[in-house]
Amino acid sequence: MLTLHGAGIGKGIAIGTAFVLHRPALDIPEYTIPDDQVESEIQRLRYAIQAAHAQLSEIRDHIPENAPSEVLAFMDAHLLMLDDPLISKEPIKTIRKQHVNAESALRVHAESLVRAFEAMEDPYLRDKKTDIDQVVNRIQENLLNVQQANIGDIEDDLENKIIVTTDLTPADTVMLKHQKMTAFVTDLGGPISHTAILARSLKIPAIVGLHGATRYVRNGETLIVDGKRGTVILSPDQGVLSAYEDRWNEILQRRRELKTLLTSESVTKDGIRIQLMANIELPEDIDATRRAHADGVGLYRTEYLFMNRAEPPSEAEQFLAYKRVVTALQRPITIRTLDLGADKQVDGGRTSVSITTNPALGLRAIRLCLHEPGLFKPQLRAILRASAYGPIMVMIPMVSSLDELGQVLDLVEETKRELRREGHAYDEDIPIGGMIEVPAAAIAADLFASRLDFLSIGTNDLIQYTLAIDRVDDAVNYLYDPLHPSVLRLIKMVIDAGNRAGIPVAMCGEMAGESQYTKLLLGFGLRSFSMEPDSLLEIKKIVRETDLSSLSDPVQEILTCSLPNELRRLVEKLK
């Protein structure tokens, strides 16, 4: 019996038989093309891209109707990538100019596209490089006429099978779901890649980034995949197997019990109403929000609208997207303005970026938006126009300076004047809030609160910036600690500042959806939590079991505790 660790996806457990799929890396040849064969070489590349198009369209057409809408979005994203000039045009120019073979021309341009994405500070965008790799790989396979172990060709019944392979594309994941695979484990991949997001929404337990999985796992051996703990147990003994079977039954039972809370109020034992909101990425996520009976959307990450395309979405397109969300839900929707990374590559520019600076501290989020009004203004106009159709709030990411905040507020007023002049309807009193995710904003939260209508604590970044830990760097992940006293004190300061200013304070970082912190946060005075819709009932259950008046003493003790283990024990005891 051996236990391996990777990044766990989803909260489920799967027990099944390993189905190891070896897909060795392609060997890309490099050679020169005689002058008279240049055009036929170009034609060869065109055919390979066309074939990739046909293959992806075929998969897209077979997506089951009940599959989550993201599945379609992923397939469309891959299809769109085939049209990216760095894939469809630039390699052709290179073949013509340098007389090199199609495979190597494609590789050169794909690599520069990948480098541009790798340099991006935003982890969502950075993970896009995996998608590019997958799309390019498909074209290379067509060029080389190699039949890699093709997921679509697996004839075996995959029921109770756990796929173990180097990497999976979203398309592969859809296919495997068709074939009823139970779970998957990959050597590569990050926890917020498209494939991981997809696995979560398809409710397939998975472990990604488990380097060496294909080396250690033997075909046919029994595996236990624990998505919550990020572990794979190889050839478990009978005792471990039955312990896991019991745990899985408990999880299922717990899910059934939680469903009974769907229509229950989110109130504490002492009658305080706690707002439970959803975090969404795409307008389609609104279905999950509705199913979870969320009070609204506490974080709509609009940067997803800007991905996988050569040009940013127009004001009209954004307006329709925002309007769709607000009219569908008719509950408060907090639209976060663009939180893109430290470069402009995502919206059409295609040169590779210098990463000599630290991108996490660079031109990101509101800094980038103020730097590029051409990108920001259409978004503000679209959000304001959509506010005529339902309750919308605007949320500014990564505020750190009061000057910057002043500029944003001026820009909002200017946009309102423009819209008024043009005769567009909008909500004159649209609330403007700020994400508190930089220590500077947390420390001076009272000053920010005096100029904003609400605050929302982004713990993912607040922890990163407070503890000086890159949230996407594996090497320092172990230091990422929501219970670090400095983090706890900053959170408490922000909540207090908001309360004193009489404005709502929410939390939309991952910490808000993790049940081990709910009582602590309630004890700090937090009354609005925003999280992935799937976590909502679990948090509601804890809210309903909490007596707020019993929390003040233990919370004080936690805030002054200097021993990390003791602090964790005190938090645990709150449950």
User: Quick check: 122 binds Mg ion (CB under 5 A)?
Assistant: no
Residue 508 partner contact from Mg ion, ligand PEP, none using kind-dependent CB cut-offs of 5 to 8 Å: ligand PEP
Exactly one of 109, 194, 369, 561 is catalytic; name it.
194
**128, 138, 301, 541: residue in contact with ligand PEP (rule CB under 6 A):** 301
Residue 536 to residue 517: CA distance in whole angstroms? 14
Task: Candidates 374-382, 399-407, 456-464, 483-491: pick the segment binding ligand PEP (CB under 6 A).
Answer: 456-464
Q: Draw the binding track, 322-341, toward ligand PEP (x: CB under 6 A; -: no contact).
A: -----------------x--
Taking CB under 6 A as the rule, does residue 367 contact ligand PEP? no
Degrees to nearest 5, angle at CA 328 with 326 and 331: 55
Cβ 75 to Mg ion shortest distance, Å: 28
**Cβ atoms < 10 Å from Cβ of 280:** 27
- 279: which 2 tokens? 């975090």
3-state DSSP helix/strand/coil % of the chain, to nearest 5 = 55, 15, 35
Give the gyration radius of the chain's Cα atoms. 25
Give the one entry of ligand PEP, Mg ion, none that residue 301 binds, where binding means its C-beta sits below a cut-off of 5 to 8 angstroms depending on kind: ligand PEP
Kindly tell me which of 172 and 339 has the beta carbon lying closer to ligand PEP: 339
Task: Check residue 134 for interaction with ligand PEP (CB under 6 A).
Answer: no
Q: Which residues pair with 183 in a beta bridge?
A: 162
Q: Quick one: 41 or 437, whose CB is closer to Mg ion?
A: 437
Q: Interface with Mg ion includes 341 (CB under 5 A)?
A: no
Residue 431: contacted member of ligand PEP, Mg ion, none (CB under 5 to 8 Å, by partner type): none
Residue 561 appears among annotated catalytic residues: no
By beta-carbon proximity to ligand PEP, the closer residue of 181 and 508 is 508
Looking at the Cβ atoms of 226 and 437, the one nearer to ligand PEP is 437
- Closer to ligand PEP by CB, 407 or 460: give it: 460
Specify the residue, 299 or 495, whose C-beta has the smaller distance to ligand PEP. Answer: 299
Residues near ligand PEP (CB under 6 A), total = 10
* SS3 assignment, position 342: coil
Q: Which two tokens stand for residue 534?
A: 């799937």
Nearer to Mg ion (CB atom), residue 131 or residue 437: 437
Lookup result for tokens 């189905």: 19
Q: Which of 458, 513, 523, 533 binds Mg ion (CB under 5 A)?
A: 458
246-274 burial code (b ≥16 CB/10 A, e <16): eebeeeeeeeeeeeebeeeebebeeeeeb
Tally Cβ neighbours within 10 Å of residue 137: 18
Name the amino acid, one letter, at 374. Answer: G
Our answer to whether residue 508 is catalytic in this structure is yes
- Residue 461 touches Mg ion, criterion: CB under 5 A: yes
**Any contact of residue 299 with ligand PEP (CB under 6 A)?**
yes
Q: Which of 78, 109, 369, 508 is catalytic?
A: 508
Cα–Cα nearest to 289, from 256, 326, 252, 264? 326
> Between residues 322 and 529, which has the closer beta carbon with respect to ligand PEP?
529
187 binds Mg ion (CB under 5 A): no
**Least gap, CB of 254 to Mg ion (angstroms):** 30
Between residue 426 and residue 445, which ones bind Mg ion under the rule CB under 5 A?
437
How many Cα atoms are found within 13 Å in the side-chain-facing hemisphere of 516? 10
458 binds ligand PEP (CB under 6 A): yes
Query: Binding to ligand PEP by residue 378, rule CB under 6 A?
Result: no
Are the C-beta atoms of 120 and 67 separated by less than 8 Å? no
- In which element (H, E) is residue 433 found? strand 432-436
Q: Got the DSSP string for 260-319?
A: TTTTS--B-TT--B-EEEEEESSGGGHHHHHHTT-SSEEEEEGGGGGSSSSSPPPHHHHH
Among 186, 459, 518, 546, binds ligand PEP (CB under 6 A): 459
Q: Does the protein bind ligand PEP through residue 509 (CB under 6 A)?
A: yes
Containing H/E element for 196? helix 194-202
**Amino acid in position 396:** I
Q: Which residues are catalytic?
A: 194, 508
Residues lying near ligand PEP in the complex (CB under 6 A) are found at 299, 301, 339, 437, 458-461, 508-509
Residues lying near Mg ion in the complex (CB under 5 A) are found at 437, 458, 461
